[in-house]
Chains A and B, each alone.
Chain A
C-alpha cells in the first residue's frame, strides 16, 4: 500500500524536479526512491492487509511481484538517460511515465476489487501507449503507438465488458464477495463464465499470447528499443501475474473446459512464437516472438494453480532479468544504428567481449541451458505440470525448447563467428552495469533457487 503511494509520489516529484531545473538529479533520486520503496515493500511479506474497503490487498504474492517490478523498473530507469541522450529536455517525462507505469503494474497485483484492477491495467497501458509513440518524428514509432493504442483500447473494452458481466452475475466488484457468491449460488449463470472468458481475452492480449499476439511484433519493432524492453519484461510479467491472481481468485469454479482453452492458447503461443522467431532477422522482432513463446510457457502455471505461484514468480523473474540483460546489450550495440538487424551483432565477441558474454548468457538462459535460471524455471514448471498428469503439453514444451535453441544460437553465432561490419563504439557505463547486474541476478537465482521459491511458500 505504502509502496503504491510512494511510487506515485515519486513520479510527481520527478515532474516537479523538471520545473526546478534539477534534471541531473532526476535519475539518481528516482533510483534511490525506488530502492526506498523496495524497503517499504519488504515488511509486507508474511502479512495480509486490507486497505480502503479491500480495494487494495497486500499479501506475499503482491509483495513478491511488487519487488520484482520495482527491481525491473530500477534497471529500466537506469538505462533511460543514455538512451534518450538526444532528448535531454524530456528526460523527466520518460522517467515519470515509467514510474506511473510501475504504479499501474503494482496496482495490478495488489487489487482486491475489480475496479482497482481495471485502474491498474489502464494506468499501465496508457503509460505504454505514450512510450511506444515517444519518438514523434519516427514514422515506425508513430505506427507502433497508434497500433498499440487501438488494439489495447479494444482489449480494455473486453475486460470492462467482462467485469460488467461478472458484476451482473454476482452484484459486486469485490473479489472476496464474488468468491463468496460463487460458493453460495451454484450453478452460476452463463454470463458469469462469459465474463471470465472476456476478461481472459483482454489479459491474453496484454500478455501477447497467440491468437491475440498480432500487435506484438510490429509494436515491438516500431517502438524505441527501451520501450520494447519495458513491454517485453515489465508489462508482460505484470500482465501474467495479474491474470494469475485474477483467475485464482475468481476462477476456482470455472469448469474444466477453461483448462482446455488455456492449454490450446499455451500450445499455440509456444509453437507459433517459436517457429515464427526462427525466420526473423530483426533482433527486436525475434525477441518479440520469443516473448510470445515464453508467454505460452508461463500460461502452463494454470494447470496447477494452487502450488505454482512460486514457480510463476521464478519463471517471470528469470525471463525478465534475462530480457533486461539482453536489451541492455541490444541498446548498446544498436543505439545509434537506427535498426536492430542481426548483422549489427557480427563480431561483437571480439569488439566487446563482456557485452557479448552477457548477451550469450541471457540467450542461453532463455533457451533453458542449465545453471542459468531460465533452465530451473522450465524445470520447476515442468515438474509442477507433470505432477498433475499433463504429459502431452510438457512434451510439446520440450520440443519447443529445442526449436528455440535454433534462433537464440543464430545471434550467438553472429557474435562469435562473423567478422565485424562496423567499427567499435564506446558502450555507456550504465548499459554495462545494468547488463552485468541483471545477468548476475539471473545466475544467482539459478544457484540459489530456494530463496525465490520460498518467498511464496504456502
Chain B
C-alpha cells in the first residue's frame, strides 16, 4: 500500500457518493473520507517505521512528466490534515437538507482528492494539475449551494475563479520555464536548477502571484470575504480549512527552495505584506456585522501572519507556519461550524440579531468559547504554539515586525471576544435556541480534543516535521 491509495479512495468515494443516490450520498461520503483518514494514519505509522510509501511512475515521456506522489513528513502531515478535516466537514453538513446531495458530496470528496494530490505530488506538473483541479469543485459548491441572492453570489464566485485561475497560469509558465532548465519537473531537480538573479526574481514573482491570491495576502484578498460569506458552510470550511493551506505549503515546498534569492533580498517586503494583512484583516474584522464575514477577515489576519512567518526563511518561522497551518485548519473549521449552527437556527448571519444564546445553551456556549480562545492563541491550545513560534521568528528578523505582528493577539482577542459577547451573552433571546445535538457536539469535541492535545503536547508533530524542515531550510538558505 502506498500513498496513491489514499487518492484512489477519495476519487472512488466521489464516484460512489454520486452513484448511490441522494439518500445515501452523505453516508457514503463519510465512510470513504474516514477510510481515507484511516489509510493515511496507517501510512504515517508505516512511514515512521522506516518504510517507503511513495509512488513513482513515468506518465509522459516527452516532455518528461512523472506521476510521483512522495511521502515525507511534511506531505504526510498535510495529508493527515486534509483527510482528518474532510470527514469533520462532511459530518458538519449532516443537519442541513441539501438538494441534489449526491453531486454535493461527490464534489466535496473530489475536492479532497485534488487537495490531497496537491500536497503529495513531487512533480511540478502533476502538482499544478491537482492545484487547478481543486478549483472546479469549489466553484460549483459555492455557486450552486451558496447563500444570498444569485447575482451577487455569481459575481463573487466568478471573480474568485478567474482571479485564482489567472494567478495559477503564471505559475504554470514558471514551471515550464524551469523545465527548460532542468529537463523534468521533479522538485529536487528544480531546486538544483541554475538560475540567474533576474530569472529567479521573475519565477519567484510568478509563484507569488498564484499563492498570494490563494492565501490571500493583501492586496490580492478582495475575493475572499464575499466568497467565504456566500459559500455554503462546507465550502467555506474547505476553502479556509484546507485550500488556502495548499498555497502556504507550496510556498515552503516550491517557491522558496526554487527561488530563494529574491526571497532573501526582498524579505522585508513579503514579511511586511503578510503583517499588513494581519493589521488590515483585524481592523476590518472589528467592523463586520455579519458573523461569517467577521470570521473571514479574522482568517485573513491569521494567514497573513502565517505567510509572514514563512517568508522570514528561518526554521522557526517555517515550522511555526506549519504548526499554525494545522491549528488554524482545525480552529477555523470549528468556528465556521459554530457560526453555521447559529445562523441556521436564527436564519440570519447578522450579529446584531443574535445575543442571549448562552443562557439557553450552556454546552454550545462553552465549546464555542474554547474555540474562540484557541483562535486568539490562548496558552495550552495548539494555536498558541504556532503563533508563538511565528512571532519568535519575526523577532529574529526584526524586532518591530514582532511588535506589530504581536498586535494580532490583542486585536484578535478584542474582536473575537466582542463577537462572542454580542452573539452569545446578554439577556435571553426571545427566539428559542436548541442546544447542540449529539452529532454537532461530536464535531466540536473532536476539534477541541485535537487543539488541546497538541497544545499541551506538541512534541509528536514537531519531532515528526523538524528534520524535513531543517533540510528544506538548508536548501532555502543555500546562497548565504
Q: Do A and B bind each other?
A: yes
Which A residues between 236 and 266 are near B, CB-CB below 8 angstroms?
none
B347 at the interface (CB under 8 A from A): no
Q: Are B162 and A453 in contact (CB under 8 A)?
A: no
Q: Is the CB of A398 within 8 A of B173?
A: yes
Which one, A13-21, A60-68, A382-390, is touching chain B?
Answer: A382-390
Binary interface encoding of chain A residues 379-399 relative to chain B, with 1 for a CB under 8 A from any of its CBs, else 0:
110110011000100110010
Report the interface size class on chain B.
20 to 34
User: A416 to B169, Cβ gap below 8 A?
Assistant: no
The verdict on B150 contacting chain A, using a C-beta distance below 8 Å, is: yes
Among the listed stretches B136-144, B231-239, B307-315, B455-463, which one makes contact with chain A, having 4 or more residues with CB under 8 Å of it? Answer: B136-144
Which candidate, B58-66, B281-289, B382-390, B406-414, is the interface stretch facing chain A? B58-66
Contacts of A450 in B (CB 8 A): 59-61
B132 at the interface (CB under 8 A from A): yes
- In the bound complex, how far is the Cα of B143 from the Cα of A453, in angstroms? 37
Residue B161 is within 8 A (CB to CB) of chain A in the complex: yes
Contact yes or no, B169 A387, CB < 8 A: no
Name the residue on B nearest A446 (C-beta): B129
B13-54 contacts to A, CB under 8 A, are none
Contacts of A25 in B (CB 8 A): none
A406-B162, A409-B158, A417-B143 as given contacts; A453 in contact with B169, CB under 8 Å? no
Docked CA distance A449–B59 (Å): 9
Which of A96-104, A206-214, A363-371 is near enough to bind chain B?
Answer: A363-371
Q: Contact check: which of B60, B128, B136 meets A364 at CB < 8 Å?
A: B136
How far, in angstroms, from A406 to B166 measured CA to CA in the complex?
11
- Cα A405 to Cα B168 with chains together (Å): 13
B177 close to A (CB within 8 Å): yes
On chain B, the residues within 8 Å of A364 by CB distance are 136
Query: How far is A383 from B60 in the complex, measured between Cα atoms in Å?
Result: 14
Residues of B within 8 A of A402 (CB): 162, 165-166, 169
Q: When the two chains form their complex, are residues A417 and B133 in contact, meaning their CB atoms are under 8 A apart?
A: no
B474: interface (CB < 8 Å): no
Give the contacting residue for B158; candidates A375, A401, A413; CB below 8 A.
A413
Is B221 on the interface with A (CB-CB < 8 A)?
A: no
For B129, give its contact among A370, A386, A406, A457 (CB under 8 Å). A370
Of the candidates B59, B144, B161, the one whose C-beta lies within 8 Å of that of A416 is B144
| Cα A409 to Cα B177 with chains together (Å) | 29
Report the minimum CB–CB distance from A401 to chain B (whole Å).
Answer: 6
Q: Is B268 an interface residue (CB 8 A)?
A: no
Are B133 and A371 within 8 A (Cβ)?
yes
Contacting pair B133 A405 (CB below 8 A)? no
B60 and A416 contacting across the interface, CB-CB below 8 Å: no
B180 interface residue per 8 A CB criterion: yes
Chain B min CB distance to A15 (Å): 45
Contact B170 A405 (CB under 8 A): no
Contact between B133 and A413 (Cβ–Cβ < 8 Å)?
no
Decide: B176 and A398 in contact? CB cutoff 8 A. no
Residues of chain B contacted by A417 (CB below 8 angstroms)? 143-144, 150, 154
How far in angstroms is the closest Cβ of chain B from A362?
14
B475 at the A/B interface (Cβ < 8 Å)?
no
Residue interface bits A10-41, CB-to-B below 8 A is 1, else 0: 00000000000000000000000000000000
**Cβ-defined contact, B173 with A395, below 8 A:** yes
Residues of A within 8 Å of B, CB-based: how many?
Answer: 28
Contact digits for B145-184, partner A, Cβ 8 Å, 1 yes 0 no = 0000010001000100110011001101100110110000
A386 touches B176 (CB 8 A): yes
Q: 8 Å CB contacts to A: which residues of B172-212?
A: 172-173, 176-177, 179-180
A413 to B144, CA, bound (A): 10
CB-CB nearest in chain A for B169: A398
Q: Give the distance to chain A from B22, nearest Cβ to Cβ, in Å.
A: 13
Give the distance in Å from the alpha carbon of A406 to the alpha carbon of B129 in the complex: 20
What CA separation (Å) do A383 and B63 show in the bound complex? Answer: 8
* Nearest chain A CB to B66 CB, angstrom units: 12
Contacting residue for A383 out of B158, B165, B179, CB 8 A: B179
Residues of chain B with a CB closer than 8 A to A457's CB: 62
B192 to A: closest C-beta gap in Å: 19
CA distance A188 to B172 in the complex (A): 42
Closest residue of chain B to A389, judged by CB? B180
If A370-B129, A383-B179, A449-B60 touch, does A401 touch B169 (CB 8 Å cutoff)?
Answer: yes
Instruction: Name the A residues within 8 Å of B158 (CB-CB).
Output: 409, 413
Whether A379 contacts B132 in the complex (CB less than 8 A), given A398-B169, A416-B143, comes out as no
- Bound-state Cα–Cα, A81 to B329, Å: 56
Assess the A379–B136 pair: CB atoms within 8 A: no
Least CB distance from B220 to A in Å reads 15
Which residue of A has the minimal Cβ distance to B202?
Answer: A391
**Closest approach, in angstroms, between the C-beta of A313 and any C-beta of chain B?**
14
How far in angstroms is the closest Cβ of chain B from A305? 17
Residues of A contacting B125 in the complex (Cβ-Cβ under 8 angstroms):
379
Contact B161 A405 (CB under 8 A): yes
In the complex, the answer to whether B170 meets A387 with C-beta atoms within 8 Å is no
B154–A379 touching, CB < 8 Å:
no
Which residues of A have CB within 8 Å of B166? 402
Q: Report yes or no: B129 in contact with A371, Cβ–Cβ below 8 A.
A: yes
Bound-state CA distance A314–B217 (Å) is 38
Q: Which residue of A lies closest to B59 (CB)?
A: A450
Bound form: Cα–Cα A454–B60 in Å? 10
C-alpha spacing A386/B63, complex, angstroms? 13
Tell me, rounded to whole Å, the shortest Cβ–Cβ distance linking B185 to chain A.
Answer: 11
Query: In the complex, A114→B151 CA distance in Å?
Result: 56
Task: State in angstroms the CA–CA spacing of A398 and B162 once bound together.
Answer: 13
A385 nearest CB across to chain B (Å)? 9
In the complex, the answer to whether B128 meets A370 with C-beta atoms within 8 Å is yes
Query: Once the chains are docked, how many angstroms separate the CA of A414 from the CA of B170?
Result: 28
In whole Å, how far is A363's beta carbon from the nearest beta carbon of chain B? 12
Closest chain B residue to A394, Cβ basis: B173
Contact (A370, B63) CB under 8 Å given A394-B173, A398-B170: no
Which residues of chain B come closer than 8 Å to A454, judged between CB atoms?
61
- Min CB distance A419 to B, Å, is 9
* A390 CA / B242 CA spacing, docked (Å): 37
User: Contact residues of A with B, CB < 8 Å?
Assistant: 364, 369-371, 375, 379-380, 382-383, 386-387, 391, 394-395, 398, 401-402, 405-406, 409, 413, 416-417, 449-450, 453-454, 457
Q: List 15 A-B contacts (CB under 8 A).
A: A364-B136, A369-B135, A370-B132, A375-B129, A382-B176, A391-B177, A398-B173, A401-B169, A402-B166, A405-B162, A405-B165, A417-B150, A453-B62, A454-B61, A457-B62
Residues of B within 8 A of A (CB): 59-63, 125, 128-129, 132-133, 135-136, 140, 143-144, 150, 154, 158, 161-162, 165-166, 169-170, 172-173, 176-177, 179-180
9 closest Cβ pairs, A-B complex: A370-B129, A402-B166, A370-B132, A398-B169, A450-B60, A383-B176, A449-B60, A386-B176, A382-B176
15 more CB-based (< 8 A) A-B contacts, given A405-B161, A457-B62? A369-B132, A371-B133, A379-B172, A382-B172, A382-B173, A386-B177, A395-B173, A398-B169, A405-B162, A416-B143, A416-B144, A417-B143, A417-B154, A450-B60, A453-B60
